[in-house]
Structure formats: structure tokens, C-alpha cells
Amino acid sequence: MKAVRVHKPGHYWIDDVPMPVAGSRDVVVKMSACGICGSDIHFVQRGSLRADGSPMPLGHEAAGIVETVGSEVTGIPIGSRVFINPMTTDGAIIGTGADEGAFASHILIRKAVLGENILAVPEGLSLERAALAEPLAVGLHTVNRGNPNAESKVAVFGCGPIGLAAILWLVRRGVRHIVAIDVADERLEHARRMGAHATINPLKDDLVQRLGAHHGAGAPVMGQATVGTDIYYDLAAGKGVIDQITAMAKFRSRLVIGAIYINPVEVNFRGLIMREMEITTAGVYQQELREALYELPNIETAVLDAYVTSTFPFDDFDNAFAVAKQVTSAKVMVTFT
């Protein structure tokens, strides 16, 4: 079968690899859909993450149909429509250093357990939509870490797939003051379609002035003006974003960092002491996977259509990956026949 694997920095290959064989506690899933994640792009840029230097399989946002079931597996019949929890029972994450990746016609799920690493797809939900549960769960967990309520004034920095997912959940939570911030107008348009109440392109507008216009002014801190934003979500990992946020933050506002910073970032903590700003991170989303999957049938089609900007067949993976790297894209999906 064909499988996408990273061989060295900047290069992946679509390799011929052996078809997986299920052991007594395993299942083999025939892939139906898998999303391209921003982390997949980073993995290709950086090269293989496997400790032994062997090619690293890609793909972890996946759904498909169970084709083979091991003799000791219970509750997962052949033909089951399933979402694959990428966190394996051995602690490795599928498509990010484990032996398996979901950009392949079939994938082996070791020690398969229904409700843990295999989740049943709700009736009436397509497998292509079900594969969105993973990035949506990441966005949901990020939102949860900020603990917003309906009256929270929220700013989301970065309108890629996870930033857009965060906007989706903020809207569904009834938050009424959501401002999306990105340097790409195309992504800001995606954010508006998903329910953001206002957008700012800091390359074209004064960020502090515009955000203050939407969220009002906060009380000055040590003589410095602040804006009235309650919660900042950093899903951009852009140069200087954290400094921009902390320099305008009001007293006891919150910052949730869900973006992946490849290199260390300097933070001006002197300016934060009197602000008593609460800073946390978001990255482990296992508890939100089930909620995201089972809420998907209730999300409006127009919202999901705004989220998925392109869909390609697996035979056209090269073009799919190229499009996913463009700043105009939101979520790019790969489907399998």
C-alpha cells in the first residue's frame, strides 16, 4: 500500500509499504479521511522525529472503516465506522513519531479498545466530517483553558485551523465579544464566516487602537494604557505576539498559549508583575475528543464548510500538502476511495 513518510528535513515520500496485519488485540482500519495539520507541515520541515532515524509516518486526524479485527478484540465489529484517537495505548501519537500514520490506505491500531483509541462515529455523520474531531478538540481544549463566559471579551490571535476551531467553540458557548486577529485577510474572512464578531489585520491597522475600539479601555497599569480584553488566545506563534499582548493587557486578564513555538521566546515579566496576568498553555486534548466528535452532528453545515477550505483525493496528496501550506487555507482534507 501507499503511505506518506518523512525521510529528511524538507522532504516526504509516498512510499510503498507492507499492508498492516492485525495481531490478536489489534484492528486494521481502511482510511476514509484524514486532515492535514499544521504540525504535519512542521514535521516535514524539521525531518523525522523517530529516535532510530527511520522514516516517520504522517497523519493523525483520521476516520475510517474497520476492515480486520483481532481474535481478542471485543465490541468493534468489521464494518464499524470509527474515529481514531491518535494517542495510542503505548503513549505514542499516531502520525507524530509512532509506527503508524493515517496518510495511508490502511492503518494498524494496536491494542484496540472501543471508547479509548477507537471511537464510534455517530449515525448520520460522514467520515470526512468525523475526521474533524481531532483539530476541533484541540480548539475546544484551548478555549476551556481560558474559562470564558458569555460576557468575556476575547481576542484570538491566529486564524489557522486551530484558531478557527477556537472561534467555533467560543461562538457555540455564547461568547459575545470575539475579535479575530491575523495577518492574512483570507483567514480573517474564514473567521467571520465562522462567527467572529470583528477582525483585525495588524499589518494594516493599529492593533491596540482597533482592539480597544471593540473591547473598550482597561484601567491603566503603572501609567500605561490597557485594553479591555479579558482573555487572549495565542494560536499564531508569531514573532512578537506575546510581547504585544502583555504590553496592552489589563489587570488580571488571561493569556492562553496554544501555538507551537519552535524556538524559545523571551517574555518581559517585569511588565507583567503589576498586571497580575494569568498565563497558561493548552496542548493535551484527550478529554475533549469525545465531546467534539459527538457534537459534530449539531454544528451547522455552513460553519463546517467555512472551516474546510479544500478537499483532495489521496492520489493528489502533493497538491493537498502544497495548498495546506498556503496562508489562504483553513483545514485541508484528504479523502480515500
Alpha helices in 77-153 (DSSP H): 127-130, 133-146
pTM of the model: 0.95
Share of the chain above pLDDT 70, in %: 99
pLDDT tens digit string along 146-197?
999 999 999 999 999 999 999 999 999 999 999 999 999 999 999 999 999 9
Indicate if 135-281 has the same CATH topology as 2-131+300-335: no
Query: What is the pLDDT confidence band of residue 51, given thresholds at 50, 70 and 90?
Result: confident
Fold of 135-281: Rossmann fold (3.40.50)
pLDDT tens digit string along 70-116?
999 999 999 999 999 998 656 678 888 888 999 999 999 999 999 99
pLDDT confidence of residue 91: 63
For residue 301, how many other CB atoms are within 10 A of its CB? 8
Give strand ranges (E) for 70-146: 81-84, 106-109, 118-120
pLDDT confidence of residue 90: 64
Neighbouring-strand partners of residue 5: 13, 57
Which of 260, 265, 264 lies closest to 246 in space, CA to CA?
265
Q: Look over the chain and give the mean of its residue pLDDT values, rounded to a whole number.
A: 95
pLDDT confidence of residue 188: 97
pLDDT tens digit string along 132-145?
999 999 999 999 99
Q: Where are the domains of the chain?
A: 2-131+300-335, 135-281
Side-chain half-sphere exposure of 251, counting CA atoms within 13 A: 8
Per CATH, domain 2-131+300-335 is 3.90.180.10:
yes
